[in-house]
A and B are shown apart, each in its own frame.
Chain A
Amino acid sequence: DGGITQSPKYLFRKEGQNVTLSCEQNLNHDAMYWYRQDPGQGLRLIYYSQIVNDFQKGDIAEGYSVSREKKESFPLTVTSAQKNPTAFYLCASARGRETDTQYFGPGTRLTVL
C-alpha cells in the first residue's frame, strides 16, 4: 500500500536534547512538508521541500532543521533551541503537478519533559 509513515507515534525527550522525527513516503511525490499542530491553532508550516537536496523555511522554522537527501524521506530535527517543542507534528507530501493536494501521515506526538 502506498502512503506516508511517521515514526514513532509517541516520543518523549528531556529538555535540552535534540530529537529527530521520521517521515517516509512511497507515493513517488516530489514535495514534502512538515507542520506543527497545537490545540486551537490549526496547522503551521515548519519546513517544506519541493525537490531532493532543496528545502525552504516555513512560517515557524526557528529551532527546527530538516534534510532531503532522498525523495522518499524528509526527517525533521527538533533542536534544543526550540522554546516550546511539545506538540503534534504532521508530515505531508504532494505530487509535483498538483502540489496543493497534500496527503498526510498519521503524525508524531512529541512531549518534552
Chain B
Amino acid sequence: AQSVTQPDIHITVSEGASLELRCNYSYGATPYLFWYVQSPGQGLQLLLKYFSGDTLVQGIKGFEAEFKRSQSSFNLRKPSVHWSDAAEYFCAVSGGGYQKVTFGTGTKLQVIP
C-alpha cells in the first residue's frame, strides 16, 4: 500500500531564512508526487507536482522540490521564507491515472519576524 510520511508536525523559521520540509513516500513503482499548501480554514492549493523527467521541480510562490528515488523522498524547499508562507503543507503520492492519491498528515509552518 502506498503511504506518505511527513516527519515534522510543526516547523518554525525566521522570515528570510531558508526552508526545507521533508516528505518520504512508499510506492512500488514510479510515483506521482505533489505538494499542496493550506491556509487556515481554506482549501488546498497545488504548489507543484512531479510526474517524470527533471527531478528538480519548480512551483508557484518560489517553491521547489527534488525527487530522490534512492531516498524515497520529495522534499520541499524555499530559499527565503516570507511571513505569508505561514500555512500547513501537505505532500501526496499517487500511481497516476485514476489511482488514489494518498496525503501525508501535514507540516504546519510558522514564520517569525
A residues 2-35 in Cβ contact with B at 8 Å: 4, 6, 31
Complex: A47 Cα to B103 Cα, angstroms: 15
Complex: A58 Cα to B100 Cα, angstroms: 9
Residues of B within 8 A of A102 (CB): 46, 101
Instruction: Tell me the smallest distance from the CB of A69 to a CB of chain B, in Å.
Output: 21
B residues 70-113 in Cβ contact with A at 8 Å: 90, 94, 96-101, 103-106
Q: Are A99 and B98 in contact (CB under 8 A)?
A: yes
Residues of A within 8 A of B44 (CB): 43, 90, 92, 104
Q: Are A31 and B43 in contact (CB under 8 A)?
A: no
Residues of B within 8 A of A41 (CB): 105
Per-residue contact bits, chain B 28-67, to A (CB 8 Å; 1 contact, 0 not): 0000101010000111111001000000000000000000
Contact of A99 among B34, B42, B97, B106 (CB under 8 A): B97
B34, B45, B90, B101 pick with most chain A CB within 10 angstroms: B101
Q: Are B32 and A106 in contact (CB under 8 A)?
A: no
Residues of A within 8 A of B41 (CB): 88, 107, 109
A residues 68-101 in Cβ contact with B at 8 Å: 88, 90, 92, 99-101
Residues of A within 8 A of B99 (CB): 100
Q: Are A105 and B98 in contact (CB under 8 A)?
A: no
Q: Are A40 and B90 in contact (CB under 8 A)?
A: no
Contact of B43 among A40, A42, A90 (CB under 8 A): A90
Residues of B within 8 A of A45 (CB): 100-101
Complex: A4 Cα to B45 Cα, angstroms: 12
Chain A CB within 8 A of B9 CB: yes
Would A42 and B90 be within 8 Å (CB), given that A90-B44, A100-B34, A101-B49 are in contact? yes
Using a CB–CB cutoff of 8 Å, the interface residues on chain A facing chain B are: 4, 6, 31, 40-43, 45, 50, 58, 88, 90, 92, 99-107, 109
Using a CB–CB cutoff of 8 Å, the interface residues on chain B facing chain A are: 9, 32, 34, 36, 41-46, 49, 90, 94, 96-101, 103-106
Sample 8 A-B pairs with CB under 8 A, ordered by A number.
A6-B43, A40-B105, A40-B106, A41-B105, A92-B44, A100-B49, A104-B43, A106-B42
